[in-house]
Amino acid sequence: MSGDASRIYTKTGDDGTTGRLFGGRVGKDDPLVQACGDIDEAVGALGIARAELEPGTDLAELTLANQRRLFVVAADLMANPHARDRLEPGTSLVDADLVGAVEADIDTLVEQHPLKPVFIVPGATRASAAFDLARGVVRRAERHAVAAARAGQAVSDPVLLTLNRMSDLVYVLARASAGDAEAPSHE
């Protein structure tokens, strides 16, 4: 390969910063960047879960939709706060519609797969274990997003709500994917 167009490395982050959507830079150790790293990790864990599901099923499609929603959350978090007017709902801006869509998915799944009133030990199936891992990572992303907001970064309320609801949704996805294979924690 030759030419700069084929290089994946830019060297712009060698100073310990990373670029923001629509310009500006922020330290790679900032809680905002940590939240985005957590989101990347959660998207990957959801990908593992989805790979374990039957392609084309409702659970697989719902998982893919929520991987894409997490990309929107990350874009919103990493946007230059002075360019928020350039964000697009559903692409780079988390709005009330996205929060509502996640809540609707939770309600639908719980209706289809009522939750058992017990603590569950993860690992009944490969898919449910990956979902449970993703849930923990989403919760970490939420903690980092809260820390970023408290440190003065521009973190919108819909982003925080979406991360909070997303951990609930991923929990419900884990339970739905495991079905009756799960064992309560007290056996």
Ordered by start, the domain boundaries in the chain are: 25-179
What pTM did the predictor assign?
0.88
Fold of 25-179: Hypothetical Protein Ta1238; Chain: A; (1.20.1200)
Q: What is the pLDDT of residue 120?
A: 81
Packing angle between helix 126-150 and helix 157-178, nearest 10 degrees?
170
Q: What is the pLDDT of residue 10?
A: 66
Q: What amino acid is encoded at 24 in this protein? A: G
Q: Quote the tokens at residue 97.
A: 């519609």
Which positions of the chain have pLDDT values less than 70?
A: 1-5, 8-15, 182-187
Q: What is the pLDDT of residue 8?
A: 67
